[in-house]
Amino acid sequence: MIVGGGVIGLSIARALSLRGVRVMVLEKNECGREASWAAGGILAPQVEADGQDSFLELACASRDLYPQFARSLFDESAIDIELDTTGTLYVAFNEAEEREFRARFAWQNSVGLRVEWLNAEEARALEPSLATNVRCALRFPNDYQVENRRLVEALIISNRKLGTVLLDHCEVRLVQIADGRISGVETSQGYIKASSVVIAAGAWSSFIDPGDQLRVEPVRGQMLCFRAERKFISHVVYSSRGYLIPRRDGRLIAGSTSERVGFNKGVTTEGREKIKSLATEIAPGVAEIPLIDSWSGFRPRAHDDLPVLGMSPEIDGLFYATGHYRNGILLAPVTGELLAEAIISRKVSPLLAPFTPAARV
């Protein structure tokens, strides 16, 4: 049983179902309509990495699964999740940012990661809409993006075809334990027996954790959506303050804020103005593009900004897949594969080991 029907829960359910395991997903609202729906769909571990560590290894492994993941989901659902392999640009505006870029370029090259240095003229030749005060840029050819809402739809269809039971509007109120192991869950639709439970409830995970292992908080992120009449940019473009994401249908997504406001899901005037400011800093022409939509969602943040993945050290049959923070879409394929393996074999992959509850004590 999986508690939480976002891309993480749905990816684990699909991986288990493909292995012949009977799976039920319980979602308190509607599958895929919380953080997964609000996300930007950026798959860019290298852009945000400050050094080589176990998280970068996990994130790159998941990114590299995406081409096959996308093909398989298309075969199973007939939905193209719009994996875009154009790459990602990271632009610098001042001397301090340029120094940081040179250091990032050097260490990523030294460990064999693909990264390209662009001077100002080269960056604007690649993306003419960039601001004229861009000093330089890094291009990450292997950092991609995906249309996250189509990913949600594909995962739902795939799971249903595989026989996964998806229960919307089924809130888990209590995870039952008997003799040190999982026995079932109390829900808004009654008691459901289960021998294994995966807590994948995103920002709400702490409320239902019987092992008291989690401290996951909601961090609100607001997003804006513009409608461009022409292809405004081709790459995902980052700055130190925000990002722009081009979609195939002409939409341009701009983000984002990072706010600790509890479960207050609102789009604010302050948030809109902040995102507009960072968007026009990257590409001034955004100011001339019509704003057509805005939304917000809750990123699930653990105390150390890292995901909590794997089995409980104390309760047999209890597993965690939460705290993905800003990387839920990116980490969906690898989380699905590694959690499915752990649930079936009760063994921990070396890739998973640093993120288990036992490793965080």
Residues 71 and 157 in one domain: yes
Both 210 and 223 in a single domain?
no
Query: How many whole angstroms separate alpha carbon 276 and alpha carbon 251?
Result: 15
| Residues 289 and 230 reside in one and the same domain | yes
Place of tokens 């294994």: 196
pLDDT tens-digit map of 248-297: 999 999 999 999 999 999 999 999 999 999 999 999 999 999 999 999 99
**Does the pLDDT value for residue 122 go beyond 80?**
yes
The verdict on 93 and 122 lying in the same domain is yes
Full domain range(s) for residue 124: 88-142+218-301
- pLDDT tens digits for range 238-254: 999 999 999 999 999 99
Take residue 230 and report the two structure tokens written for it: 């022409």
Residue written as tokens 């990271």?
90
Please report the pLDDT score of residue 209 as a whole number.
92
**Strand pairing partners for 198?**
2, 319
- Nearest 5 degrees, angle CA 52-CA 70-CA 235? 60
Pair 159, 207 in one domain: yes
* 309 and 293 assigned to the same domain: no
Residue ending a domain, among 301, 324, 347, is 301
Q: Are residues 184 and 115 in the same domain?
A: no
Token pair 């199973």 is found at 76
Answer with the one of 301, 317, 351 that is the final residue of a domain.
301
**How confident is the model at residue 361, as a pLDDT?**
64
First to last CA, the chain: 25
Same structural domain for residues 319 and 251? no
Q: How far apart are CA 346 and CA 188, in angstroms?
A: 30
- Boundary of a domain, candidates 283, 301, 319: 301
Q: Which two tokens stand for residue 290?
A: 């019509």
- Give yes or no: residues 38 and 136 share one domain: no
The CATH number of the domain holding residue 342 is 3.50.50.60
| Best CA proximity match to 308, nearest among 352, 346, 259 | 352
Side-chain-side CA neighbours of 227 within 13 Å: the count stands at: 4
Are 133 and 238 in a shared domain? yes
226 and 291 share one domain: yes
